[in-house]
Protein backbone atom coordinates (compact mmCIF):
# COMPACT_ATOMS: atom_id res chain seq x y z
CA UNK A 1 0.00 0.00 0.00
CA UNK A 2 1.31 3.46 -0.81
CA UNK A 3 0.34 7.14 -0.76
CA UNK A 4 1.87 9.26 -3.51
CA UNK A 5 4.74 6.80 -3.72
CA UNK A 6 5.32 6.51 0.03
CA UNK A 7 4.92 2.88 1.14
CA UNK A 8 2.89 1.95 4.20
CA UNK A 9 4.28 -1.35 5.39
CA UNK A 10 2.30 -4.36 6.63
CA UNK A 11 4.19 -4.04 9.93
CA UNK A 12 2.90 -0.51 10.40
CA UNK A 13 -0.65 -1.62 9.65
CA UNK A 14 -0.35 -4.52 12.11
CA UNK A 15 0.77 -2.07 14.80
CA UNK A 16 -2.15 0.28 14.03
CA UNK A 17 -4.80 -2.46 14.23
CA UNK A 18 -4.98 -2.23 18.03
CA UNK A 19 -6.72 1.16 17.66
CA UNK A 20 -9.42 -0.15 15.32
CA UNK A 21 -11.62 -2.78 16.98
CA UNK A 22 -13.78 -4.55 14.40
CA UNK A 23 -15.97 -7.66 14.12
CA UNK A 24 -13.35 -9.48 12.06
CA UNK A 25 -9.66 -9.32 11.23
CA UNK A 26 -10.17 -8.23 7.62
CA UNK A 27 -12.24 -5.20 8.61
CA UNK A 28 -9.75 -4.24 11.30
CA UNK A 29 -6.89 -4.46 8.81
CA UNK A 30 -8.74 -2.31 6.28
CA UNK A 31 -9.62 0.35 8.84
CA UNK A 32 -6.06 0.46 10.16
CA UNK A 33 -4.66 0.74 6.62
CA UNK A 34 -7.10 3.53 5.76
CA UNK A 35 -6.22 5.45 8.94
CA UNK A 36 -2.51 5.33 8.11
CA UNK A 37 -3.16 6.36 4.52
CA UNK A 38 -5.24 9.35 5.65
CA UNK A 39 -2.53 10.36 8.11
CA UNK A 40 0.13 10.14 5.39
CA UNK A 41 -1.98 12.26 3.04
CA UNK A 42 -2.37 14.94 5.70
CA UNK A 43 1.31 14.90 6.65
CA UNK A 44 2.32 15.29 3.02
CA UNK A 45 -0.06 18.22 2.61
CA UNK A 46 1.23 19.83 5.80
CA UNK A 47 4.80 19.59 4.51
CA UNK A 48 3.74 21.10 1.20
CA UNK A 49 2.15 24.04 3.03
CA UNK A 50 5.07 24.41 5.42
CA UNK A 51 2.90 23.71 8.46
CA UNK A 52 4.52 22.58 11.68
CA UNK A 53 2.84 21.52 14.87
CA UNK A 54 3.51 22.13 18.55
CA UNK A 55 2.64 19.05 20.63
CA UNK A 56 0.06 19.66 23.35
CA UNK A 57 -0.46 17.76 26.59
CA UNK A 58 -3.66 15.97 27.53
CA UNK A 59 -5.26 16.12 30.96
CA UNK A 60 -3.00 13.30 32.14
CA UNK A 61 0.13 15.23 31.18
CA UNK A 62 0.93 13.05 28.16
CA UNK A 63 2.30 14.96 25.16
CA UNK A 64 0.88 14.16 21.74
CA UNK A 65 3.13 12.75 19.06
CA UNK A 66 4.74 15.32 16.79
CA UNK A 67 3.02 13.95 13.67
CA UNK A 68 -0.34 14.12 15.41
CA UNK A 69 0.37 17.74 16.32
CA UNK A 70 1.16 18.50 12.67
CA UNK A 71 -2.10 16.90 11.49
CA UNK A 72 -4.10 18.74 14.14
CA UNK A 73 -2.54 22.08 13.22
CA UNK A 74 -3.20 21.51 9.53
CA UNK A 75 -6.86 20.71 10.11
CA UNK A 76 -7.26 23.68 12.45
CA UNK A 77 -6.00 25.95 9.70
CA UNK A 78 -7.86 24.55 6.71
CA UNK A 79 -11.16 23.30 8.14
CA UNK A 80 -13.72 26.00 8.87
CA UNK A 81 -16.89 24.38 10.19
CA UNK A 82 -20.19 26.15 9.69
CA UNK A 83 -21.45 27.84 12.85
CA UNK A 84 -25.13 26.98 13.41
CA UNK A 85 -27.59 29.80 13.88
CA UNK A 86 -30.54 29.93 16.26
CA UNK A 87 -32.94 28.50 13.67
CA UNK A 88 -30.76 25.46 13.01
CA UNK A 89 -30.31 24.80 16.72
CA UNK A 90 -34.03 25.04 17.39
CA UNK A 91 -34.80 22.76 14.44
CA UNK A 92 -32.39 20.15 15.82
CA UNK A 93 -33.97 20.47 19.28
CA UNK A 94 -37.48 19.95 17.97
CA UNK A 95 -36.44 16.95 15.86
CA UNK A 96 -34.59 15.30 18.76
CA UNK A 97 -36.53 16.48 21.78
CA UNK A 98 -36.43 13.00 23.38
CA UNK A 99 -32.66 13.34 23.71
CA UNK A 100 -33.14 16.29 26.03
CA UNK A 101 -35.39 14.56 28.54
CA UNK A 102 -34.03 13.61 31.93
CA UNK A 103 -34.54 9.92 32.77
CA UNK A 104 -37.39 8.58 34.88
CA UNK A 105 -36.21 7.63 38.36
CA UNK A 106 -37.53 4.93 40.68
CA UNK A 107 -37.15 5.53 44.41
CA UNK A 108 -37.22 1.90 45.43
CA UNK A 109 -36.33 -0.64 48.10
CA UNK A 110 -36.05 -4.40 48.30
CA UNK A 111 -35.64 -7.30 50.69
CA UNK A 112 -33.35 -10.04 49.42
CA UNK A 113 -34.01 -13.58 50.58
CA UNK A 114 -31.11 -15.80 49.62
CA UNK A 115 -31.59 -19.56 49.34
CA UNK A 116 -29.71 -21.49 52.01
CA UNK A 117 -28.85 -24.15 49.45
CA UNK A 118 -28.44 -23.76 45.70
CA UNK A 119 -30.90 -26.48 44.82
CA UNK A 120 -34.61 -26.69 44.10
CA UNK A 121 -35.55 -27.15 47.74
CA UNK A 122 -33.40 -24.21 48.85
CA UNK A 123 -34.88 -21.87 46.25
CA UNK A 124 -38.42 -22.99 47.05
CA UNK A 125 -37.93 -22.38 50.77
CA UNK A 126 -36.57 -18.90 50.04
CA UNK A 127 -39.55 -18.15 47.81
CA UNK A 128 -42.00 -19.16 50.56
CA UNK A 129 -40.19 -16.91 53.03
CA UNK A 130 -40.38 -13.98 50.61
CA UNK A 131 -44.10 -14.59 50.11
CA UNK A 132 -44.60 -14.63 53.87
CA UNK A 133 -42.87 -11.27 54.19
CA UNK A 134 -45.07 -9.80 51.44
CA UNK A 135 -48.18 -11.00 53.26
CA UNK A 136 -47.00 -9.57 56.59
CA UNK A 137 -45.76 -6.13 55.50
CA UNK A 138 -48.31 -5.32 52.80
CA UNK A 139 -47.87 -1.73 51.65
CA UNK A 140 -46.79 -0.47 55.08
CA UNK A 141 -43.49 1.32 54.63
CA UNK A 142 -42.45 1.05 58.28
CA UNK A 143 -43.16 -2.68 58.35
CA UNK A 144 -41.21 -3.13 55.11
CA UNK A 145 -38.22 -1.21 56.55
CA UNK A 146 -38.24 -3.33 59.72
CA UNK A 147 -38.38 -6.56 57.70
CA UNK A 148 -35.53 -5.37 55.49
CA UNK A 149 -33.33 -4.58 58.49
CA UNK A 150 -33.93 -7.97 60.10
CA UNK A 151 -34.17 -10.34 57.14
CA UNK A 152 -32.63 -8.95 53.95
CA UNK A 153 -29.40 -10.55 52.76
CA UNK A 154 -28.35 -7.37 50.93
CA UNK A 155 -26.11 -4.63 52.36
CA UNK A 156 -29.00 -2.25 51.72
CA UNK A 157 -30.67 -3.78 54.80
CA UNK A 158 -28.84 -1.16 56.86
CA UNK A 159 -30.76 1.52 54.91
CA UNK A 160 -34.19 -0.12 55.32
CA UNK A 161 -33.65 -1.94 52.04
CA UNK A 162 -33.32 1.30 50.05
CA UNK A 163 -31.90 1.04 46.55
CA UNK A 164 -31.89 4.81 46.16
CA UNK A 165 -33.13 6.54 43.03
CA UNK A 166 -32.67 4.08 40.17
CA UNK A 167 -32.56 4.79 36.45
CA UNK A 168 -33.78 2.31 33.86
CA UNK A 169 -30.97 -0.04 32.94
CA UNK A 170 -29.21 0.10 36.30
CA UNK A 171 -30.91 -3.05 37.63
CA UNK A 172 -31.23 -6.53 36.17
CA UNK A 173 -34.19 -6.86 33.86
CA UNK A 174 -36.44 -8.89 36.15
CA UNK A 175 -36.09 -6.39 39.00
CA UNK A 176 -36.69 -3.42 36.72
CA UNK A 177 -39.80 -5.06 35.27
CA UNK A 178 -41.08 -5.71 38.77
CA UNK A 179 -40.67 -2.07 39.76
CA UNK A 180 -42.27 -0.83 36.54
CA UNK A 181 -45.43 -2.75 37.43
CA UNK A 182 -45.84 -1.10 40.84
CA UNK A 183 -47.70 2.03 41.87
CA UNK A 184 -46.23 4.59 44.26
CA UNK A 185 -46.19 3.25 47.81
CA UNK A 186 -46.87 -0.32 46.73
CA UNK A 187 -45.09 -3.55 47.64
CA UNK A 188 -44.95 -6.20 44.93
CA UNK A 189 -47.46 -8.99 45.46
CA UNK A 190 -45.08 -11.65 44.16
CA UNK A 191 -41.35 -12.03 44.85
CA UNK A 192 -39.02 -11.57 41.90
CA UNK A 193 -36.17 -13.98 41.27
CA UNK A 194 -32.62 -13.04 40.29
CA UNK A 195 -29.38 -14.99 40.46
CA UNK A 196 -28.93 -13.63 44.00
CA UNK A 197 -32.21 -14.90 45.40
CA UNK A 198 -35.82 -13.77 45.76
CA UNK A 199 -36.58 -10.05 46.01
CA UNK A 200 -39.49 -8.42 47.75
CA UNK A 201 -39.84 -5.11 45.92
CA UNK A 202 -41.31 -1.82 47.05
CA UNK A 203 -41.69 1.34 44.96
CA UNK A 204 -41.72 4.38 47.23
CA UNK A 205 -42.35 6.75 44.35
CA UNK A 206 -41.73 7.22 40.65
CA UNK A 207 -40.03 10.46 39.61
CA UNK A 208 -40.93 11.21 35.97
CA UNK A 209 -38.25 12.73 33.80
CA UNK A 210 -38.75 16.18 32.33
CA UNK A 211 -37.87 17.76 29.04
CA UNK A 212 -35.14 20.37 29.36
CA UNK A 213 -36.09 23.72 27.80
CA UNK A 214 -34.30 24.76 24.63
CA UNK A 215 -32.48 27.58 26.41
CA UNK A 216 -30.78 25.09 28.73
CA UNK A 217 -29.36 22.96 25.91
CA UNK A 218 -28.85 25.51 23.15
CA UNK A 219 -25.05 25.71 23.63
CA UNK A 220 -24.72 21.93 23.69
CA UNK A 221 -26.71 21.66 20.46
CA UNK A 222 -24.56 24.33 18.83
CA UNK A 223 -21.42 22.41 19.80
CA UNK A 224 -22.90 19.20 18.39
CA UNK A 225 -23.81 20.81 15.07
CA UNK A 226 -20.44 22.53 14.79
CA UNK A 227 -18.65 19.23 15.47
CA UNK A 228 -20.82 17.51 12.86
CA UNK A 229 -19.95 20.21 10.32
CA UNK A 230 -16.24 19.85 11.17
CA UNK A 231 -16.43 16.08 10.56
CA UNK A 232 -18.15 16.53 7.21
CA UNK A 233 -15.70 19.19 6.06
CA UNK A 234 -12.71 17.14 7.23
CA UNK A 235 -13.94 14.08 5.34
CA UNK A 236 -14.46 16.20 2.23
CA UNK A 237 -10.97 17.67 2.56
CA UNK A 238 -9.28 14.26 2.94
CA UNK A 239 -11.27 12.84 0.03
CA UNK A 240 -10.09 15.75 -2.10
CA UNK A 241 -6.45 15.09 -1.22
CA UNK A 242 -6.91 11.43 -2.14
CA UNK A 243 -8.62 12.26 -5.43
CA UNK A 244 -5.82 14.61 -6.42
CA UNK A 245 -3.08 12.19 -5.37
CA UNK A 246 -2.30 8.54 -5.88
CA UNK A 247 -3.43 6.17 -3.17
CA UNK A 248 -2.91 2.47 -3.81
CA UNK A 249 -4.17 -0.46 -1.74
CA UNK A 250 -7.11 1.16 0.06
CA UNK A 251 -10.14 3.25 -0.87
CA UNK A 252 -10.39 6.78 0.52
CA UNK A 253 -13.50 8.76 -0.32
CA UNK A 254 -15.70 11.12 1.64
CA UNK A 255 -17.81 8.33 3.11
CA UNK A 256 -14.86 6.21 4.26
CA UNK A 257 -12.73 9.06 5.58
Query: Considering the domain boundaries, does residue 170 fall inside one?
Result: yes
What is the average pLDDT across 209-232? Answer: 96
Query: Considering the domain boundaries, does residue 253 fall inside one?
Result: no
Same domain for 175 and 124, yes or no, is: yes
Same domain for 188 and 110, yes or no, is: yes
DSSP of 218-234, one letter per residue?
HHHHHHHHHHHHHHHHH
How many domains would you assign to the chain?
Answer: 2
Summarised one tens digit per residue, pLDDT across range 65-80 is 999 999 999 999 999 9
Query: Considering the domain boundaries, does residue 92 fall inside one?
Result: no
- In 10 A of CB 63, how many CB atoms? 12
Same domain for 66 and 109, yes or no, is: no
Which candidate, 155, 117, 109, places its Cα nearest to that of 133? 109
The answer to pTM > 0.85 is no
In the chain, the N- to C-terminal Cα span, in Å, equals: 17
Instruction: Say if CB 20 and CB 32 are below 8 A apart.
Output: yes
Same domain for 202 and 109, yes or no, is: yes
Same domain for 58 and 34, yes or no, is: yes
Query: Considering the domain boundaries, does residue 100 fall inside one?
Result: no
Same domain for 37 and 72, yes or no, is: yes
The CATH number for 138's domain is: 3.10.50.40
Same domain for 187 and 110, yes or no, is: yes
Same domain for 117 and 193, yes or no, is: yes
Query: Considering the domain boundaries, does residue 94 fall inside one?
Result: no
Tell me the pLDDT band of 59, cut-offs 50, 70 and 90. confident
Summarised one tens digit per residue, pLDDT across range 177-204 is 999 999 999 999 999 999 999 999 999 9
Same domain for 181 and 219, yes or no, is: no
Tell me the pLDDT band of 218, cut-offs 50, 70 and 90. very high
d(CA 79, CA 227): 11
Query: Considering the domain boundaries, does residue 256 fall inside one?
Result: no
Same domain for 140 and 220, yes or no, is: no
Q: Where in the sequence is the domain holding 63, given as residue range(s)?
A: 2-85+214-248
Query: Considering the domain boundaries, does residue 27 fall inside one?
Result: yes
Tell me the pLDDT band of 58, cut-offs 50, 70 and 90. confident
Query: Considering the domain boundaries, does residue 16 fall inside one?
Result: yes
Amino acid sequence: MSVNGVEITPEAIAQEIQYHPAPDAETAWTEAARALAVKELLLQEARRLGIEGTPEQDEGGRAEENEDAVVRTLLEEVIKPALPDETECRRFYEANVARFRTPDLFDAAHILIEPEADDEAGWEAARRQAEKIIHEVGDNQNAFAAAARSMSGCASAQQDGSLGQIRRGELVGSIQEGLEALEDGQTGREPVRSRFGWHVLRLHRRLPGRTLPFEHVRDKIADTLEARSWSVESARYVAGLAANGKVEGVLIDQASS
